[in-house]
Amino acid sequence: MSEIVKVTKIAGTAVPIRGNDIDTDRIIPARYLKEVTFARMGDYPFFDERFDGSGKKKDHPLNDPEYKGASILFVNKNFGCGSSREHAPQALYRFGIQAIVGESFAAIFAGNCTIMGVPTVTVSAKEIERLMKSVEESPRTEYTVNLESKTLSYGNHKIAIDLPETYRNALTTGSWDSTTMLRANLEQVRKTASKLPYMSRFAS
């Protein structure tokens, strides 16, 4: 069984990726979903926005040496919409992103991040603009996302962050990797299943 890892605090530099409704096809093009493991996903986040057809680097925050080593990603609204591919958060995580701060997240994407132990936390539109400006002006700024106090701090600033309480519990108690927690109740699962008429093909 996997060991319990509590996710309470993520500290590091940040990188901003601007724009609303950034879909998971943009985060990772479908052709990389043909790989049988997630092992190489860290090479691919935003691939077609970072490289042209000949493999030459384009202007993109993830190519910018100023943001190298960032562990926190700043995004706008409805980030991660579209396809349920976990390859998208896997690509960001394996690239080095350990927490994502944004105005809002698409449902499946936020669930995928949480089950991987990557918090997706929200702040207001005004705050995310301020955060993006702060990192664009000073890319070496250190930020700390604290899930216990529900705050994000940098320099002299401390702002409130939000995330669903159940996600916060899962992360801070180390039960985000949910299989063990769910498997502990298998007997109860079988009881619930036995009461559902379709499980016996409506035999009675």
Partner 1 sequence: MAGRTLYDKIWESHSVGILPTGQTQLFIGLHLIHEITTAPAFDMLREQGMDVAFPERTFATVDHIVPTDIRSRPFLDSEAEELIQALEKNVKQFGVEFFGLDHQNQGIVHVIGPQLGLTQPGMTLACGDSHTSTHGAFGTLAFGIGTSQVRDVLATQTLAMDKLKVRRISVNGALGTGVYAKDVILNTIRRLGVAGGKGFAYEYGGAVIDKMNMEERMTVCNMSIEGGALVGYVNPDQTTFDYLKGRPYVPTGEAFDRAVAYWKSVASDPDAKYDDVVNYEGKDIEPTVTWGINPGQAVGISEKLPKPEEYSDPDGAKKAYEHMGWQPGAPILGTPINVAFVGSCTNSRMTDLRAAARIAKGRKVKSGIRALVVPGSAEVKKLAEQEGLHEIFKEAGFEWRGAGCSMCLAMNPDKLTGREICASSSNRNFIGRQGSPGGRTLLMSPAMVAAAALNGKVVDVREYH
Residue ranges that bind partner 1, judged by CB under 8 A: 1-2, 19-21, 23, 25-26, 29-31, 33-38, 48, 53, 77-78, 81-87, 89, 104, 106-108, 111-112, 115-116, 164-166, 169-170, 173, 175, 177-179, 181-183, 185-186, 188-189, 192-193, 195-199, 201-204
* Minimum CB distance to partner 1 smaller for 138 or for 173: 173
Is residue 60 a contact partner of residue 50, using CB atoms and an 8 Å limit? yes
* Minimum CB distance to partner 1 smaller for 65 or for 126: 126
User: Shortest gap between Cβ of 126 and partner 1 (angstroms)?
Assistant: 15
Torsions phi, psi for 101 (to 5 deg): -115, 125
CB within 8 Å of 86: residues ≥ 6 apart = 38, 112, 116
* Minimum CB distance to partner 1 smaller for 142 or for 148: 148
Give CA–CA dist 77/79, Å, rounded.
Answer: 6
Beta bridge partners of 157: 154
23-62 burial: b if 16+ Cβ within 10 Å, else e: ebebbbeeebeeeeeeeebeebbbbebbeeeeeeeeebbb
Record the tokens describing residue 83, joined without a space: 């396809």
* Minimum CB distance to partner 1 smaller for 85 or for 154: 85
User: Shortest gap between Cβ of 2 and partner 1 (angstroms)?
Assistant: 7
* Minimum CB distance to partner 1 smaller for 110 or for 131: 110
* Minimum CB distance to partner 1 smaller for 78 or for 98: 78
User: Shortest gap between Cβ of 8 and partner 1 (angstroms)?
Assistant: 14
In this structure, the number of other CB atoms found within 10 A of the CB of residue 93 comes to 22
User: Shortest gap between Cβ of 71 and partner 1 (angstroms)?
Assistant: 21
User: Shortest gap between Cβ of 66 and partner 1 (angstroms)?
Assistant: 23
Torsions phi, psi for 16 (to 5 deg): -95, 140
User: Shortest gap between Cβ of 5 and partner 1 (angstroms)?
Assistant: 14
